[in-house]
């Protein structure tokens, strides 16, 4: 189990102090595939580097199975890093070494006997699906294959935690999918805890069971992926989950239109003609501004933005009607009005 307690990290730059992380507290359970998502500059990379002490937290602590990693000395940190390994956006393979030698690298650092190390490295090449690439150099491989070698290398020291820092950001969608599939399979087979840093919602959606949304160095939302995706609370989460809807909402909201957000919470209601029924039953002809649904773990989650014509009475009536439908949450968005009022 990894616990981040009140973690803060500041950098002193020429232009003053930058607070990359501010009071971040998270708990990652054993066997989790935990997503940490945020826009660039949100502090994701700093956060993941605090977990293996590549960055020393300014404040707060990182606990791995109850042990405070900030209290470790240099030697202990080196040993800890065999148990908390990392893969990177740019793969970071040794370009002058063969794939096999790359996987042997962490084992040599750990002084494992040569024979044993090589047997293990070859087995890992098989695990990642590249048994025939032992003697190939990274330059001869595709991006996806290079990341597979990097994964094999990260698994060499039999770690408890795998940190993935934008591991699929440099790959095309199809390759991304196959790499994520591999990570999921390794997680299933070995029970390794995986922490996935990404800016792509699709990555979290595909493999994570839990997610934290990071914005400006703070966690604005955290929880089970299905919950966070179906009922995003924070504005930053909504912007990530439904980028199109968020834009429409801001635009039309600012123009004073009456908007309702419908949230489909894993129910069958996406199959009923809800808007049409409302028009017949209440005489309110709502227009759909934008809609987006996703399937997660076999359940349907969605998001629909409606514009209600008329005045406050019609709005109230529509809310009342839609709220009566099971499996739907209705949100009359007051946030943009609050924003406007603040301006």
Partner 1 sequence: MNQFTRAFTPEKLQEAWHVFLTEFPMGLWETLYVTILSTFFAILLGLPLGILLVTGDEKGIRPLPQALMKVINVLINFLRSVPFLILIVMVIPLTRAIIGTSIGSVASIVPLVVAAFPFVARLVESSLRELDPNIIEMAQSMGASTWQIIFRTMLPESVPSLVTNFTLAITTILGYTAMSGAMGGGGLGKIAINYGYSRYKYAVLYLAVIVLVLLVQVFQSIGTHLAARLDKRIKK
Interface with partner 1 (CB under 8 A), residue from 29, 65, 96, 142:
96
Which long-range contacts link 182-190 to residues 24+ away (Cβ below 8 Å)? 182/128, 182/129, 182/148, 182/151, 183/33, 183/151, 183/207, 184/33, 186/127, 186/151, 186/155, 186/162, 187/31, 187/33, 190/155
How far, CA to CA in Å, does 276 sit from each of 137, 272, 285?
61, 9, 8
Distance CA 28, CA 213 (A): 14
| Residues 6+ away with beta carbon under 8 Å from 132 | none
Q: Could you say which residues in the range 50-89 bind partner 1, by CB under 8 A?
A: 52, 54, 77-82, 85-86, 88
CA proximity to 205, closest of 249, 161, 173: 173
Asked if 97 interacts with partner 1 (CB under 8 A), we say yes
Q: Which residues pair with 153 in a beta bridge?
A: none
Helix 243-254 × helix 335-342 angle, to 10°: 50
Per-residue interface string for the shown chain with partner 1, residues 178-217, x marking contact by CB under 8 A: ----------------------------------------
Asked if 121 interacts with partner 1 (CB under 8 A), we say no
By beta-carbon proximity to partner 1, the closer residue of 171 and 308 is: 171
Asked if 112 interacts with partner 1 (CB under 8 A), we say no
Asked if 279 interacts with partner 1 (CB under 8 A), we say no
Taking CB under 8 A as the binding criterion, the range among 136-144, 238-246, 259-267, 330-338 that sits at the site for partner 1 is: 136-144
By beta-carbon proximity to partner 1, the closer residue of 110 and 276 is: 110
Asked if 267 interacts with partner 1 (CB under 8 A), we say no
The size of the interface with partner 1 (CB under 8 A), counted in residues, is: 29
By beta-carbon proximity to partner 1, the closer residue of 88 and 229 is: 88
CA proximity to 104, closest of 66, 157, 34: 157
Asked if 135 interacts with partner 1 (CB under 8 A), we say no
Asked if 95 interacts with partner 1 (CB under 8 A), we say yes
Residues in contact with partner 1 by CB under 8 A are 52, 54, 77-82, 85-86, 88, 90, 92, 94-98, 105-106, 108-110, 137-140, 153, 157
């Amino acid at each position: 189990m990894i616990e981040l307690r009140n973690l803060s990290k500041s950098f002193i730059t020429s232009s003053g102090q930058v607070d990359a992380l501010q009071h971040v507290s998270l708990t990652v359970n054993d066997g989790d595939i935990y997503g940490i998502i945020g826009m660039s500059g949100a502090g994701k990379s700093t956060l993941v580097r605090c977990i293996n002490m590549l960055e020393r937290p300014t404040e707060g602590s990182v606990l791995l199975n109850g042990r405070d990693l900030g209290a470790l000395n240099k030697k202990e940190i080196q040993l800890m890093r065999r148990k908390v390994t990392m893969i990177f956006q740019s793969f970071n393979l040794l370009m002058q070494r063969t794939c096999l030698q790359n996987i042997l690298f962490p084992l040599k650092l750990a002084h494992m006997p040569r024979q044993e190390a090589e047997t293990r490295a070859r087995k890992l090449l098989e695990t990642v699906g590249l048994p025939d690439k032992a003697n190939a150099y990274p330059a001869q491989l595709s991006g996806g294959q290079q990341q597979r070698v990097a994964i094999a290398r990260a698994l060499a020291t039999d770690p408890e935690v795998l940190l993935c820092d934008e591991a699929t950001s440099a790959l095309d969608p199809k390759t991304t999918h196959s790499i994520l599939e591999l990570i999921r399979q390794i997680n299933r087979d070995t029970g390794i805890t995986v922490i996935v840093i990404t800016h792509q919602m699709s990555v979290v959606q595909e493999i994570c069971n839990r997610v934290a949304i990071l914005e400006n160095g703070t966690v604005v939302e955290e929880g089970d992926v299905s919950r966070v995706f179906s009922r995003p609370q924070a504005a930053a989460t909504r912007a990530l989950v439904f980028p199109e809807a968020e834009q429409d909402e801001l635009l039309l909201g600012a123009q004073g239109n009456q908007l309702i957000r419908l949230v489909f919470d894993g129910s069958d209601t996406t199959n009923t003609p809800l808007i049409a029924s409302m028009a017949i039953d209440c005489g309110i002809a709502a227009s759909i501004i934008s809609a987006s649904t996703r399937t997660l773990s076999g359940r349907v989650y969605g998001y629909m933005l409606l514009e209600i014509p008329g005045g406050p009475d019609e709005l109230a009536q529509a809310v009342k009607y839609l709220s009566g439908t099971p499996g739907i949450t209705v949100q009359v968005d007051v946030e943009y009005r609050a924003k406007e009022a603040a301006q």
